[in-house]
Amino acid sequence: MNGLEHMKTEPLPANSTITDRMLLKQFADGDDEAFATLVRRHAGLVSSVCLRILRQSCDSDDAFQATFLVLARKAKRIAWQESISGWLHQTAIRTALRLRARTIRHRNIEAQVVTPRDSIGLSSEPGPEHQATLKELSEILDAELAGLPDKFREVILLCQVEGLNRDEAAVRLSISPEAVKDRLERGREQLRSRLLKRGLTLSSVAIAAWCVQQSAQAADSVGLVTATIRTGTVFAAGNMTATSGPAVMAGSVGMASSTAITLAQEVLRMMSIGKLKMVTAFVISLLTAGTLVYGMLRDEPTRFEQGLLGEVIAVQAGTPHTLTIELEEFSTLLNLDISAEAKVRTAFEEGDIADVRSGQFVSLRLGKDHRTIEEIHVRGQVREASIQSIDESGRISILEESSDGEDNLVSSNVKLAPDAILRIGGLPARREELRAGMEVPLEFSREGGVVNAIEAEGEDEQFVEGVLLTVQLSDGKLLLSLEEEDDRWIQKDFRIDSGTLTILDGKSVTPGDLPAGSSVKCRLGSDRLTVRAIKATSPESGDDDE
């Protein structure tokens, strides 16, 4: 029985008090109508984001459908919160941006819109002619909203975009109406502060008015929503592509377009290699990006140390060579010079500039002039698989989807490189922490067969975030200040040892090197008391928005 035949005849109302997390669990257990309820519930939110970024109804429809197709495929693979409004908001932004970038390339106008290097010169300040237009302002507001802490972003989206009252939002989030009111006010104020850092002065009232306008952009096409629901229930099973299988129905009555299916697959690939990170996306118009991008980078110089992420658009030979990249964080195109001594690594192996080609995802490290590339790290081949077992020699048994497009799984063995990069939830990990059943993206060497990097998502219960108070190496303790769900702050001890993997401002250190006041994210062991890894941002870095 396929997804269409399994649809129930009496759908739940979109404003049902059942939480998103419960609906996703029901969908994962085979209840297709639960997915239909989620699409109807959040159609307005996703539609408004896609319309603001793409502005053409046909393109925004494709991005709308692709966003929910990604949700359908990810339903079983993420430890969801009670509400998915924030996840959908961010995924819709990235999906729409992906489609917009592809449209630009297809029109062959890169040469006209690529930001000239001179436009980010170090000696000039942005003039009035570079001020953001109203459309750009809307995109920046969306981006900064995406950068808010989850608990503030969710209440703003639920109350002021999706139109729920405080009592309804409280039920949806499993908190009290008083907590909703407090988070809504604090969220607006944080959003106003974030905009102020970008030189935009808006009152909380103006921000509230902007948010309310989003509901006016709601998807009003019953056919669009119905097609998304029908396609999503099939796409979730992994047996639909844009060129084979049930996708022959794509574009016909009642099914999503082939463009939407292809776009969803691209976004899923981006997720699997860590490119689509749920962090603030500074969405800037290509016409004003030169000055605004430079201003943002200048304000946060650690970005240069951490590297710029993006997709290679073109590499041109010359003196010097130049590289055109679509920046991941700023969603704009930029030309950069490549140093004659630039180091190139492909799939974590030594490479050459000839290895860098359009379509690859890369991380760039720039020189002190902030415009010359000194290091290029090219992503290798990535395959998503489920770990079945791993032995002491590093041999991994994996289960993955068949490459022939059929809906079946195949088993194989791969070798883990001795110096492989291992992360869980973005934090460093050891080989013994990789467990059977983990669904992970595997990044292979250029020849294949050897895995050079694994990054697992991890579960929410494994992590805590807070502010470091003290590190007592003699007692093996780390004291954190943590914020509880009811907005109270508590202090809590965790156990550490010399083997705790620690990163400070992007560099490996020991726990004793962490300064008090650092913002930290810790990955815990199975006892939820022992810290296995720490990722910290020092107080003076200026990266913490809290």
Kindly tell me if the per-residue pLDDT of 45 is higher than 70: yes
- Tell me if 7 is assigned to some domain: no
Provide the β-strand partners of residue 530. 495
Average pLDDT of the chain is: 75
Residues 517 and 492 in one domain: yes
Predicted model pTM: 0.55
pLDDT of res. 332: 61
Residues 336 and 296 in one domain: yes
pLDDT tier, 23 (very low <50, low <70, confident <90, very high otherwise)? very high
- Tell me if 436 is assigned to some domain: yes
Annotate 450-481 with DSSP letters as a single string. EEEEEEE---GGGEEEEEEEEEETTTTEEEEE
| CATH number of the domain where residue 326 is located | 2.40.50
Contact between residue 73 and residue 238 where contact means Cβ atoms under 8 Å apart: yes
Higher pLDDT, 70 or 488: 70
Q: What is the pLDDT of residues 360-377, one digit of tens each?
A: 888 888 777 777 888 898
- Tell me if 484 is assigned to some domain: yes
Q: What is the pLDDT of residues 377-430, one digit of tens each?
A: 888 888 888 899 988 888 999 988 776 655 577 888 999 988 888 888 888 899
Residues 369 and 405 in one domain: no
- Tell me if 485 is assigned to some domain: yes
Kindly tell me if the per-residue pLDDT of 540 is higher than 80: no
Rounded to whole angstroms, how far apart are CA atoms 50 and 539?
A: 36
Contact between residue 334 and residue 324 where contact means Cβ atoms under 8 Å apart: yes
- Containing 545, the helix (H) or strand (E) segment is none
Residues 441 and 476 in one domain: no
| C-alpha count within 13 angstroms, C-beta hemisphere, residue 201 | 0
| Helical packing angle, 134-146 and 32-54, nearest 10° | 140
- Tell me if 447 is assigned to some domain: yes
Last residue in a domain, options 361, 376, 391: 376
Rounded to whole angstroms, how far apart are CA atoms 345 and 447?
A: 14
pLDDT of res. 546: 32
CB burial of residue 532 (10 Å; 0-12, 13-18, 19+): buried
Name residue, tokens 């099973």.
Answer: 237
Kindly tell me if the per-residue pLDDT of 66 is higher than 90: yes
| CATH number of the domain where residue 520 is located | 2.40.50.320
Kindly tell me if the per-residue pLDDT of 244 is higher than 60: no
Residues 301 and 366 in one domain: yes
**Edge-first strand listing for the sheet containing 501-504:** 489-495, 477-483, 463-472, 519-524, 531-537, 501-504, 507-509
- Tell me if 203 is assigned to some domain: no
Domain count across the chain: 3
pLDDT of res. 35: 93
Residues 417 and 466 in one domain: no
Per-residue pLDDT averaged across 27-43, rounded? Answer: 91
Residues 414 and 470 in one domain: no
Last residue in a domain, options 437, 456, 475: 456
pLDDT of res. 224: 85
Residues 360 and 300 in one domain: yes
CA distances from 519 to 146, 483, 502, 541, 542 (A): 19, 12, 13, 10, 11
Containing structural domain, residue 303: 289-342+349-376
- Tell me if 496 is assigned to some domain: yes
Q: What is the pLDDT of residues 258-287, one digit of tens each?
A: 888 988 888 887 776 544 443 333 333 333
Kindly tell me if the per-residue pLDDT of 532 is higher than 80: yes
Last residue in a domain, options 456, 474, 495: 456
Per-residue pLDDT averaged across 300-319, rounded? Answer: 67
Residues 333 and 355 in one domain: yes
- For residue 495, report the phi and psi dihedrals to the nearest 5 degrees: -85, 140
pLDDT of res. 206: 56
Higher pLDDT, 3 or 223: 223
Residues 412 and 437 in one domain: yes
Higher pLDDT, 98 or 134: 98
Annotate 209-246 with DSSP letters as a single string. HHHHHGGGG----HHHHHHHHHHHHHHTTT---SSSGG
Residues 440 and 481 in one domain: no
Q: What is the pLDDT of residues 456-488, one digit of tens each?
A: 887 777 888 888 999 988 889 999 988 765 567
Residues 424 and 501 in one domain: no
| Helical packing angle, 134-146 and 85-106, nearest 10° | 130
pLDDT of res. 131: 39
pLDDT of res. 333: 67
Kindly tell me if the per-residue pLDDT of 340 is higher than 80: yes
- Tell me if 362 is assigned to some domain: yes
